[in-house]
Structure 1
Amino acid sequence: MTTLEFSYSINEHSKSLKPFALRLTKDVDDANDLLQETMLKAYTNRDKFSDGTNLRAWLYTIMKNTFFTRYQRMVRRATFVDSTDNLHYINSGDVSIENRAHSKFAMDDINYCINHLNADYRTPFMMYFKGFKYQEIADDLNLPIGTVKNRIHLARKILKDNLKIYKTN
């Protein structure tokens, strides 16, 4: 195949490569760049193409490999490697470590509020919290079921008011 025939053939296949480039990059400008780079690589490596083989598949392979190489290069560039002697990241503000201090403070406040509830409210509330049914609580405490429901409701309301600082929107 002559250089002119090869150029004409890859130009004909470029129309079918554009949607594939768009699927890979998900951006029109990046797809155009990928297509252009694929065509350039195909043309400069035309001596590696064997006549009688599928030119379209060869072009798709070049495009796919070019995309993966670009992606890997981009990931490597975005990776920060600290080469200082102490082997710690310098100014890595995008990394935060969760130490659970906030949740410990919240749990301490919750336990404090529960412990300071009136015993008439705390006992049925804690039983309900542990998984007892209303009827089981009523039977265990020798109270009417309506009273149990009311006391649990009031305990929850008191806790909600006392712990409103932790309310999320």
Structure 2
Amino acid sequence: MTNDTFSEKINQFDRFLHNFALRLTQNSEKAKDLVQDTCLRAFRYRDKYQLGTNFKGWIATIMRNTFINNYRKEQKRRVVSEPVEALAYQIETKTFLSNAGEMNMRMQELMQMLDSIGDLYRVPFLMHYRGYEYQEIADKLQLPIGTVKSRIFTARKKLKALLNRAA
């Protein structure tokens, strides 16, 4: 199938894709992004489409999988950022710090706690907190992915224990 033919085929299902994306995302802007991501992915993998099969079903599956992957990434980022934010609140002992100097001291305490768990655990933990995927961390640190996951889990456990002692 030529690029032009493939583009025409996608254009035939433009309204369907937009409506399907709206049902998945419940948000107009996110739906537009999802349609764009889907079209890019479909175009990238157009050689995988088998002529004579259900194109609408094929592209709908790509959209659904793209939506699921994006949702999972978003959830991971929330899960990763929540524990660290929760750690900062635990240090504050659940009071609002209006004094910037006091907030700086609390952040220094948190950084000291991070330093105290050692590079072995701190480096993968901070990389994961900054949004790196487990596989990216494993590649950069030249470690097996299971080791990376274990070290991040252990770092969280150690930080939680340190915070409980400090509170």
Question: Which structure: larger Rg?
Answer: 1
Report the counterpart of residue 126 of structure 2 in structure 1: none
Report matched runs for 1:5-154 at 5 Å. Answer: 5-80=5-80, 83=155, 86-88=158-160
Identity over the aligned pairs, expressed in percent?
40
Deviation string 1:29-57 (CA, Å, 9 cap, x unpaired) is 00000000000101111101000001110
Look up the SS of the partner of 1:52 in the other structure.
Answer: coil
Shift of 1:11: 1.3
Shift of 1:3: 1.6
Could you say which structure has the higher helix fraction?
A: 2
Shift of 1:4: 1.0
Q: Structure 1 residues 88 and 41, CA, compared in 2 at 3 Å: closer, same or farther? A: same
Look up the SS of the partner of 1:88 in the other structure.
Answer: helix
Look up the SS of the partner of 1:50 in the other structure.
Answer: coil
Q: Distance in 2 between matches of 1:9 and 1:89?
A: 57
Shift of 1:86: 2.5
Residue identity opposite 2:52 in structure 1: G
Q: Distance in 2 between matches of 1:17 and 1:90?
A: 50
Q: Distance in 2 between matches of 1:77 and 1:17?
A: 27
Unaligned runs of 5+ in 1: 92-169
Residue identity opposite 2:41 in structure 1: K
Shift of 1:85: 6.4
Normalised TM-score (structure 1)? 0.50
Q: Distance in 2 between matches of 1:71 and 1:12?
A: 27
Q: Structure 1 residues 90 and 38, CA, compared in 2 at 3 Å: closer, same or farther? A: farther
Q: Structure 1 residues 31 and 89, CA, compared in 2 at 3 Å: closer, same or farther? A: farther
Q: Distance in 2 between matches of 1:77 and 1:51?
A: 38
Q: Distance in 2 between matches of 1:85 and 1:47?
A: 46
Normalised TM-score (structure 2)? 0.50
Shift of 1:90: 7.8
Q: Distance in 1 between matches of 2:8 and 2:162?
A: 53
Shift of 1:89: 7.2
